[in-house]
Structure 1
């Protein structure tokens, strides 16, 4: 989703706000390079959607977690056996889309994210994940995904990623983004991005306005390799 230069300049004049939520997306080949034993990593191939698109990791309200969750369920969640947690109620179509957008559902990541963060969202699991599917679709329809897909096997830099966000979501959007990298052998591998958001997530607000309403953050990883699917 690209914005016109006029729209971008108008948004750039808005006062920088306070970040209310963090949207986390994974570059799954890099994530799996670090965690090859995860269920969602065992079957990853170059043909799978998550080999060339960002995957959904989670949507976290800042400084809120486990809202109304019993101590017993919280303890089970923190133990890490997420597939033992209660299944989530949502429409079949939403569940099917989530399996593609969030490969971590194979490890119960959706159940964990719902308990830790979704319970603070103020709606149902259907509402919570529908919002996230819309947001990650916007990321994957942007110049950011184009940049990463075109650099598989090569490095991306802070400047390039920030520029792709600015081009797609308005001037200053890149200042609300942090790139996560981890060491794999002698390489610094990109494992994902976290993006600051602020505003009413239950409304039909576009990702651009949600990003530009958030506060700035440090980018952290100045350069990293965009990994290809499969353990290198």
Structure 2
């Protein structure tokens, strides 16, 4: 069985399992029609890298921090204008990993475009058509033969992830270690060492990344994923 076939077989089993609703979009109401995007291309300085997949990373972007200062940016209007809903964690992507710090990317020489029907179905999870196209081109093409399969599994893993009470966490002194433990406590089978946190230079939360094994279950993050000490302080912007 090929790596892609094995991944899809595991994904099929996950789709049959019960999971928690990933209610991270409040009153999501996307437009009926989307303007078509020009093709998203591989940057000239980004090589194709076809490597054996040893695990995955689920990347969750904290939307209030991303949207700070982008509320009037036409390119981010679906996510940040509040005209189409308000968002907590949105799906940044499900990324393949390999042994060591280099990861597979841009694996398909001529990847298919993401169908508009698939884009529409994803917008309450990933409120950016350009991000959707980019994730398929860079990451999904290394994991599945078609965009629908890749995003079906990505959203299943995302929606199965329980989110701790971010409102409560944002109102107290908080450390990296405390935030990792909060995610682990909310998700059976997850441990603090399976969670990596990304903050900006000012110490505000940007992203939570969950390390997964080849079976798409939480797995200890590899050693090259370096993190600040657990007692390092971090802040959460609520978008107010």
Structure 2 residue aligned with 1:5: none
Q: Of residues 142, 167, 171 in structure 2, which corresponds to 1:120?
A: 142
Shift of 1:123: 2.9
Q: Deviations over 1:96-121 (max 9, x none)?
A: 3410111232xx01111111111101
User: Quick check: 1:25 aligned with 2:27?
Assistant: no
When normalised by structure 2's length, the TM-score is: 0.62
Q: Deviations over 1:115-143 (max 9, x none)?
A: 1111101331111111111111122xx2x
Query: What is the CA–CA distance in structure 1 between the aligned matches of 2:172 and 2:235, rounded to whole Å?
Result: 5
Structure 2 residue aligned with 1:104: 128
Change (3 A) 1:30 1:19: farther
Structure 2: gaps (5+ residues)? 1-18, 21-52, 98-102
Structure 2 residue aligned with 1:162: 180
User: Quick check: 1:48 aligned with 2:66?
Assistant: no
Query: Which structure: greater helix fraction?
Result: 1
Count of aligned pairs? 180
Query: What is the CA–CA distance in structure 2 between the aligned matches of 1:54 and 1:124, rounded to whole Å?
Result: 25
Alignment of 1:59-138 (within 5 A): 59-62=94-97, 63-70=103-110, 87-89=113-115, 92=117, 94-105=118-129, 108-138=130-160
Query: What is the CA–CA distance in structure 1 between the aligned matches of 2:195 and 2:137, rounded to whole Å?
Result: 25
Q: Of residues 210, 218, 232 in structure 2, which corresponds to 1:195?
A: 210
Shift of 1:190: 0.6
Query: What is the CA–CA distance in structure 1 between the aligned matches of 2:176 and 2:185, rounded to whole Å?
Result: 14
Shift of 1:34: 6.8
User: Quick check: 1:211 aligned with 2:229?
Assistant: no
CA RMSD of aligned residues (A): 3.2
When normalised by structure 1's length, the TM-score is: 0.64
Change (3 A) 1:44 1:160: farther
Structure 1: gaps (5+ residues)? 3-17, 74-85, 202-209
Query: What is the CA–CA distance in structure 1 between the aligned matches of 2:170 and 2:85, rounded to whole Å?
Result: 14
User: Contact between 1:162 and 1:177, CA under 8 Å: does it hold in 2?
Assistant: yes
Relative contact order (C-alpha < 8 Å, sep 6+): which is higher?
Answer: 1
